[in-house]
């Protein structure tokens, strides 16, 4: 009986949280389309989300591309299928590893920073101050961040794709002795538009998830510095989990038939 | 003489979970008067103020601002109503991502679309009124001392010439001299604007200085109100104990918060 009650309570809590998050997301999206449009803030956030994430995402991408080529080689050599390496690298990077790794990295960098910033604003009454100055925090803080996440992540991932493929190329040419022209030819030959598009759609979704959870946890943080720390952790953990779940769902939508 | 009423509160209730914080508040703030609400920490002073400002939804009751019931207003009307208000938060609540002058001119700049040059001139002018020079305009709030932050917060509250100003513990956390400076500035700004002021505090020196009238909040109700000249002989044991800061009396301090 006790167990059942606990289970019920936990389920209710989860449903409440999902409901609150959905309402928050809906309000954020609504304010993206509702004037006033705050382009300067959006631009600043795009630089924050995209430009400053380039080093960490670039490094992640290049080493992932390199290790992919190396691993595939040691595996495929057993079946004399080494020639498939260019395709494996490019398809894995564009479809999966580019967006997922960039999403996770950005969750750690940007999602955490947003939760900390907005959380601090909450506990120091800056969010209340905004409202008393006739400014809705959803419009002033949340909507610009969501929009920046939606449009910047695909750009970031496109760059990561190129860098990742280059990593695989470098290892294949200089270590595994591939012919550069053949490698590039094979890469382009097998790459389909859908591989890239699905990856960029994922990137956009992940950008939304990261900024949404950063804002959401910051907005609802309470209880001083400790509460802000908790909000930051929650933002990163929930964003990472949601990225991995939605990654499966989007893959299913694109490629299962 | 029948003076008009700026803020009128009727039977206001607010609970958080099982904690009944406001238990039927009735209060009138007359136009152009300065009313100070006193009460112990955790007695619900901030909750009352935030209910009037629309930052907290009360459970029951009425709040009339210049005769309009603001609990029945649309969101947009409510946002517009805020244009009448200025608020100085307890910790200043300055936006730390913006320089001092953009804080002070936030409403004109962001909400009313004033051009930046004009907004900055307005900010510098308002900073002067609270005794700060133009050189602080470009600093970030984090570079200011507590007293200066309070002044900038005051400048932000008065910059768009509100008709009602709220002060949440304006002197808490300041040394006695700086507290007195802030009290003087509050008096002066409220007089200059010809505004109505509603303050909450537990600092009696401040309450005496900035109030025309005082009301005391205790256990979620207004237990006494009267002109500030009557504060020393209110005839109310609770008020007496509070005003003289005695440990012995009808008010028992809970050791645990809440
Ligand atoms: N958002 C909230 N959620 C839950 N409890 C709250 C909230 N805001 C205030 N309280 C509680 O209401 C009581 C009154 O708080 P407050 O108005 O801040 O006191 P003070 O008179 O010191 O300003 C406190 O016990 C506080 O814990
Ligand atoms: Mg308070």
Q: How many residues does chain B have?
A: 258
Query: What distance in Å separates residue B91's CA from the closest CA in chain A?
Result: 7
Q: Is residue A10 part of a domain?
A: no
Contacting B with CB below 8 Å, chain A residues are: 117, 120-121, 124-126, 128-136, 140
Is B258 a residue whose pLDDT tops 60?
no
Going by CATH, does the domain composed of B1-84+201-258 fall within 3.40.50.720?
no
Q: What b/e readout covers B192-231, taking b as 16+ CB neighbours within 10 angstroms? A: ebebbbbbbbbbbebbbbbbebbbbbbebebbbbbebeeb
Task: Tell me which residues of chain A have a pLDDT lower than 50.
Answer: none
A128 and B50: CB-CB below 8 Å? Answer: yes
Query: What distance in Å separates residue B229's CA from the closest CA in chain A?
Result: 32
Is B257 a residue whose pLDDT tops 70?
no
User: Using one digit for the tens of pLDDT, what is the confidence trace for A42-91?
Assistant: 999 999 999 999 999 999 999 999 999 999 998 888 888 888 999 999 99
Q: CA–CA distance from A182 to each of A61, A87, A195, B99 (Å)? A: 22, 12, 21, 57
| Residue B42 in contact with ligand 1 by CB distance below 6 A | yes
Q: Which residues make beta-bridge pairs with B20?
A: B15
| Residue B44 in contact with ligand 1 by CB distance below 6 A | yes
Mean pLDDT, rounded, of chain A: 95
Tell me the ligand closest to B19's alpha carbon. Answer: 1
Probe target for ligand 1 pocket from B23, B42, B172, with the most ligand atoms within 8 Å of CB: B42
Per-residue confidence band for B1, with pLDDT thresholds at 50, 70 and 90: very low
Which of B53, B54, B55 is the best mutation test for A, with the most CBs of A within 10 A?
B55
Measure CB to CB from residue B93 to each of A117, A129, A135 and give the nearest one.
A129
User: Using one digit for the tens of pLDDT, what is the confidence trace for B39-77?
Assistant: 998 899 999 999 999 999 999 999 999 999 999 998 888
Probe target for ligand 1 pocket from B37, B39, B47, with the most ligand atoms within 8 Å of CB: B47
Probe target for ligand 1 pocket from B21, B38, B59, with the most ligand atoms within 8 Å of CB: B21
- Listed in sequence order, the residues at least 6 apart from A6 whose beta carbon sits closer than 8 Å to its beta carbon are none
Hey, what are A211's tokens?
């900024």
pTM (whole model) above 0.90 = yes
- Listed in sequence order, the residues at least 6 apart from A77 whose beta carbon sits closer than 8 Å to its beta carbon are none
Distance CA B101, CA A206 (A): 36
Q: Is residue A43 part of a domain?
A: yes
Q: What is the pLDDT of residue B25?
A: 96
| Residue B45 in contact with ligand 1 by CB distance below 6 A | yes
Q: What is the pLDDT of residue A2?
A: 86
User: Using one digit for the tens of pLDDT, what is the confidence trace for B83-121?
Assistant: 999 999 999 999 999 999 999 999 999 999 999 999 999
What is the ipTM metric for this complex?
0.93
Please state the φ and ψ torsions of residue B60, each to the nearest 5 degrees: -160, 150
The atom of ligand 1 lying closest to the CA of B257 is 25
> Which chain A residues are closer than 8 Å to B93 by Cβ?
124-126, 128-129
Higher pLDDT, B153 or B80: B153
Q: Is residue A184 part of a domain?
A: yes
Distance CA B155, CA B102 (A): 11
Number of domains chain A contains: 1
Residue of B nearest to A133 (CA): B107
Tell me the ligand closest to B43's alpha carbon. Answer: 1
Give me the total of CB pairs closer than 8 Å, taking one residue from chain A and one from chain B.
52
User: Using one digit for the tens of pLDDT, what is the confidence trace for B200-237?
Assistant: 999 999 999 999 999 999 999 999 999 999 999 888 99
Range of the domain at A163: 39-255
User: Using one digit for the tens of pLDDT, what is the confidence trace for B159-172?
Assistant: 989 999 999 999 99
Least confident of A97-111, A122-136, B5-19, B242-256: B242-256
> Which chain B residues are closer than 8 Å to A219 by Cβ?
none
Mean pLDDT of B75-82: 86
Q: Contact B243/B232 with Cβ under 8 angstroms? A: yes
Check residue A93 and report its DSSP letter.
Answer: I
A134 and B106: CB-CB below 8 Å? Answer: no
Is B254 a residue whose pLDDT tops 80?
no
Per-residue confidence band for B256, with pLDDT thresholds at 50, 70 and 90: low
Least confident of A66-70, B17-21, B77-81, B157-161: B77-81
Q: Is residue A173 part of a domain?
A: yes
């Amino acid at each position: 009986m006790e167990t059942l009650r606990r289970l019920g309570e936990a389920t209710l809590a989860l449903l409440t949280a999902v409901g609150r998050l959905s309402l928050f997301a809906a309000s954020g999206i609504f304010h993206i389309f509702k004037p006033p449009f705050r382009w300067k803030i959006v631009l600043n956030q795009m630089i924050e989300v995209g430009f400053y994430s380039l080093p960490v995402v670039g490094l992640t991408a290049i080493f992932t591309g390199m290790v992919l080529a190396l691993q595939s080689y040691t595996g495929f050599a057993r079946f004399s299928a080494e020639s498939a390496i260019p395709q494996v690298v490019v398809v894995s990077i564009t479809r999966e590893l580019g967006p997922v790794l960039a999403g996770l990295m950005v969750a750690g960098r940007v999602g955490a920073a947003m939760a900390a910033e907005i959380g601090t604003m909450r506990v120091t009454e800056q969010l209340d101050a905004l409202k008393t100055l006739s400014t809705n925090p959803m419009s002033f803080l949340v909507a610009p961040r969501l929009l920046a996440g939606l449009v910047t992540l695909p750009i970031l991932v496109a760059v990561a794709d190129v860098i990742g493929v280059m990593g695989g190329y470098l290892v294949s040419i200089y270590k595994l002795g591939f012919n550069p022209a053949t490698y590039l030819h094979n890469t382009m030959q097998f790459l389909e538009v859908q591989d890239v598009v699905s990856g960029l759609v994922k990137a956009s979704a992940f950008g939304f998830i990261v900024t949404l959870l950063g804002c959401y946890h910051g907005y609802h943080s309470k209880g001083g510095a400790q509460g802000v720390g908790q909000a930051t952790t929650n933002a990163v953990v929930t964003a990472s989990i949601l990225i991995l779940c939605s990654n499966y769902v989007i893959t299913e939508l694109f490629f299962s038939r | 003489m029948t003076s008009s009423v700026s803020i009128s509160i009727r039977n206001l209730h607010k609970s958080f979970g099982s904690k009944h914080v406001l238990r039927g508040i009735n209060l009138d703030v007359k136009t152009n008067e300065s009313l100070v609400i006193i009460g112990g920490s955790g007695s619900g002073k901030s909750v009352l103020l935030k209910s009037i400002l629309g930052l907290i939804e009360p459970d029951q009751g009425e709040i009339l601002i210049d005769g309009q019931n603001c609990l029945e207003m649309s969101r947009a009307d409510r946002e517009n109503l805020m244009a009448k208000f200025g608020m100085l938060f307890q910790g200043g609540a300055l936006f730390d991502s913006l320089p001092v002058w953009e804080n002070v001119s936030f409403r004109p700049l962001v909400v009313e679309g004033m051009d930046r040059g004009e907004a900055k001139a307005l900010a510098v002018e308002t900073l002067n009124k609270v005794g700060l020079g133009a050189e602080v305009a470009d600093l970030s709030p984090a570079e200011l001392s507590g007293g200066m932050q309070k002044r900038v917060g005051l400048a932000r509250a008065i910059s768009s010439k509100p008709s009602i100003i709220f002060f949440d513990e304006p002197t808490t956390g300041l040394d006695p001299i700086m507290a007195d400076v802030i009290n003087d500035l509050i008096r002066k700004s409220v007089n200059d604007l010809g505004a109505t002021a509603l303050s909450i505090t537990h600092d009696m020196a401040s309450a005496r200085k900035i109030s025309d009238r005082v009301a005391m909040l205790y256990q979620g109700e207004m237990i006494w109100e009267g002109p500030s000249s009557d504060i020393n002989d209110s005839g109310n044991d609770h008020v007496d104990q509070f005003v003289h800061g005695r440990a012995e009396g009808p008010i028992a301090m809970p050791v645990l918060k809440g």
